[in-house]
Amino acid sequence: MPSSTDLDLQAVNVIKGLIMDAVGKANSGHPGGAMSSADLGYILFSEFLDVDPDDTTWFNRDRFVLSAGHESMLLYALLLFQGILTMEDITRFRQFGSKTPGHPENFLTPGVEATTGPLGQGFAMSVGMAVAEAMLRARLGSDITDHYTFVLASDGDIQTPVCLGAAALAGHFELSRLIVCYDNNKVQLAGPTSRCDRTDHKKVFEGLGWRVIEIDGHDHGQIRAALTQAKTDAGKPTLIIGHTTIAKGSCSMENNCDSHGSPFSPEEIAKTKACLGLPADKPFYLPADVVERFRARHATVRAKRLDWQKALQKRLDTDAAFEDLWRQARRTPANRTFDWPEFEPGASVATRKAWGSALGALIDQLPLLVGGSADLDPSNQTAKFRDITGIFGPDNRAGRNLCFGVREFPMGALLNGIALHGGLVPFGATFLVFSDYERNALRMSALQRLPVLHVFTHDSFYVGEDGPTHQPIEHASSLRLIPNMLVMRPADARETCLAVQTALTQQSRPTCLLLTRQGLPVLDAARFPGLAEGVAKGGYVLADAPGGVPDGILLAAGSEVSLALAAAALLPEYKLRVVSMPCMELFDEQPKEYRDAVLPPAVTRRFAVEAGRPDLWCKYVGSLDNVHGISRFGASAPAKLLAEKYGFTPEHLAGLVRQAFAGKE
């Protein structure tokens, strides 16, 4: 009978066989890194990770993030060993509609915690998960939340700025339940890492406040010892640097960069299986004894989950305050309701200030709302939230404000991790022009179907004297191109609160909230009765022509809605309807009957205005000739002067509308 040590070694070899077979069958994939990480992954999953295959959504499970998402076949093999995936799933690797896509996707495959395609973001999202665990442990108690977040990262992950920015935050926050296993095989897709990197990662991470342990990443005894040490609380996150060999165990591909991103040849697979003691005539080989060895801890973890459920029920039965907080943590977003501050009609209020007022109102109404700004607290109107709720850190786990520093991309990725963890409602804020820095994290919010609130202030050339580097031009349109993303640009303070409400009631998509620096007139709800329901529909009739039968339509969003109203007043020769379009995505999802009621097909005189790229408005007005926007970079000057120079005055807009409509006579 094989010893447990022999079975462990055989299990790792079986995993490598599955990796080679699946990648070979698909004729696509990354076998080398998955093979070099196999020892780390196997020991972690079989002996340390508290995950119950009977309930992959158990709230207090350990989280595992494969930041090296290209090594997906390793994760899928481990999920097969757990009994979460089937062999059919493995044989359909990288095929349409399978549970085993090229990179792990959280919404598709049970047991996958995060979609980790772009390198570094898995690492950064894991920091957000560890933040969420620490915050919830402070609120719910260690009997309800006390799990670990484990990460498997690659050389490519560690090289990315988003990883290092997130690592700085993790060290600063002293996230001692964050454990990163770094498969340091020193080879990446283009060649050896020595061509582009000589960083001493031990010194770097120790300088960032991490505990660093270096081991032979193929030695099971060293792996066990390192993981055991990592679970002892040193007041620091832990980086385990596992020195490994890419394509370890292969016949001739060890240390070969070609193994990183290309399938092995059939001959190489056959020879490697001979080296590993695997039957060459049995593809997708999975002997029962290694599976039994792997699952030896399943009963223990299952019992731990059942004990946790009993502890949870006891708390729910005996602690009313806990029950209320737990219900809020588990509440469906669509069931949230809010009371918003009132604003005086006609008063000049910047929508960023309206957001600040809304955020203040949410402090007590939504106690699980957490987030912060990328070093722009006063400008983003988050300073009051910070001062009232406290700053999260090692001495204040109950703090709700996260000080991200000038780290927009890590901020976005951390927010995604918090949302993936569950139980908290995350938001982050910066200037709209800096959404470029955060762009891929925003895309990953949408791709992973995460209801994160991304707040962007200073949304146009009205930033003024700061100049073109700080004046967004293409950014609103660029964000609107992201699938499954809501981009909301409210026209006034009331629309702003309703936009926040819409964002916070989303179940499976994020929202970008674009807000002004300059004051805008508060719309009178009595004069504009469609406002309350219209924002949730994305677009609505704000001011209608006499009798509700227009012969022309003006469309606008954000700060240009009040401009459109003023221009309409200068055009008495037309019966004009003014349409506010705070969210194109929501409007486009409305039934055709509603869209046609707002924009009657028979009314062909249409004109749109927005202080940004004009292109996307063509779907409503038919031609760029009927859109007044900006397709050039701005200039450093007072905002009022820029408005005159760029033609964003009622008089100039009225002239453009008159000229465009004349062609429709």
What span, in angstroms and rounded, lies between the C-alpha atoms of 7 and 9? 5
Please state, in angstroms and as integers, the Cα–Cα distance from residue 222 to each residue in 39, 131, 227, following that order.
Answer: 11, 28, 9
In 3D space, the residue among 418, 440, 320 whose CA is nearest the CA of residue 369 turns out to be: 418
Does the annotation list 147 as a binding residue? no
Does the annotation list 375 as a binding residue? no
Does the annotation list 243 as a binding residue? no
How do 187-188 and 191-192 pair as beta strands?
A: antiparallel
Does the annotation list 150 as a binding residue? no
Q: Are 487 and 514 in contact (CB under 8 A)?
A: yes
Does the annotation list 434 as a binding residue? yes
Does the annotation list 396 as a binding residue? no
Q: At what angle do helices 161-173 and 121-140 cross, to 10 degrees?
A: 20
Does the annotation list 548 as a binding residue? no
- The C-alpha angle 445, 422, 355, rounded to 5 degrees, equals 60
DSSP 517-558: SSEEEPP-TTT-TTHHHHGGGS-EEEE--GGG--SEEEEE-T
Does the annotation list 171 as a binding residue? no
In 3D space, the residue among 383, 392, 417 whose CA is nearest the CA of residue 129 turns out to be: 417
> Element (H or E) spanning 11, and its range?
helix 4-26
Which three-class secondary structure state does DSSP give residue 214? strand
- Helices marked H in 231-380 — which ranges? 258-261, 266-276, 288-294, 298-318, 320-330, 351-365, 377-380
Q: Are 29 and 38 in contact (CB under 8 A)?
A: no
Rg (CA), the chain: 28
CB-based contacts of 480, cutoff 8 Å, min separation 6: 487, 584, 585, 616
What span, in angstroms and rounded, lies between the C-alpha atoms of 125 and 137? 18
Burial degree of 207 (CB within 10 A; 0-12, 13-18, 19+): exposed
CB-based contacts of 401, cutoff 8 Å, min separation 6: 370, 371, 372, 382, 385, 386, 389, 390, 391, 392
DSSP percent split of the chain into helix, strand, coil, nearest 5:
50, 15, 40
User: In this structure, what token pair is assigned to residue 540?
Assistant: 């609505």
Does the annotation list 578 as a binding residue? no
Q: In what order do the strands lie in the sheet with 486-488?
A: 369-373, 425-431, 453-457, 511-514, 486-488
- Give the amino acid at 113: E
What span, in angstroms and rounded, lies between the C-alpha atoms of 41 and 153? 11
Does the annotation list 156 as a binding residue? yes
Does the annotation list 360 as a binding residue? no
What span, in angstroms and rounded, lies between the C-alpha atoms of 561 and 492? 9
Q: Dihedral sign, CA of 233, 239, 243, 249?
A: positive
Burial degree of 133 (CB within 10 A; 0-12, 13-18, 19+): buried
Does the annotation list 470 as a binding residue? yes
Q: Are 358 and 341 in contact (CB under 8 A)?
A: yes
What span, in angstroms and rounded, lies between the C-alpha atoms of 449 and 452? 9
**408 assigned to active site:** yes
Around 188, how many Cα atoms within 13 Å sit in the side-chain half-sphere? 16
DSSP 131-162: HHHHHHHHHH-TTT----EEEEEEHHHHHSHH
Query: Which residue out of 174, 254, 408, 610 is catalytically annotated?
Result: 408
Does the annotation list 201 as a binding residue? no
User: In this structure, what token pair is assigned to residue 135?
Assistant: 């915050």
Does the annotation list 307 as a binding residue? no
Does the annotation list 117 as a binding residue? yes
What span, in angstroms and rounded, lies between the C-alpha atoms of 18 and 385? 51
Does the annotation list 421 as a binding residue? no
Which three-class secondary structure state does DSSP give residue 172? helix
Does the annotation list 123 as a binding residue? no
Q: Are 91 and 290 in contact (CB under 8 A)?
A: no
Residues carrying an active site annotation: 408
Binding-site sequence positions for Mg(2+):
155, 185, 187
Binding-site sequence positions:
30, 70, 117-119, 155-156, 185, 187, 260, 352, 379, 434, 458, 466, 470, 517
Binding-site sequence positions for substrate:
30, 260, 352, 379, 458, 466, 470, 517
Binding-site sequence positions for thiamine diphosphate:
70, 117-119, 156, 185, 260, 434
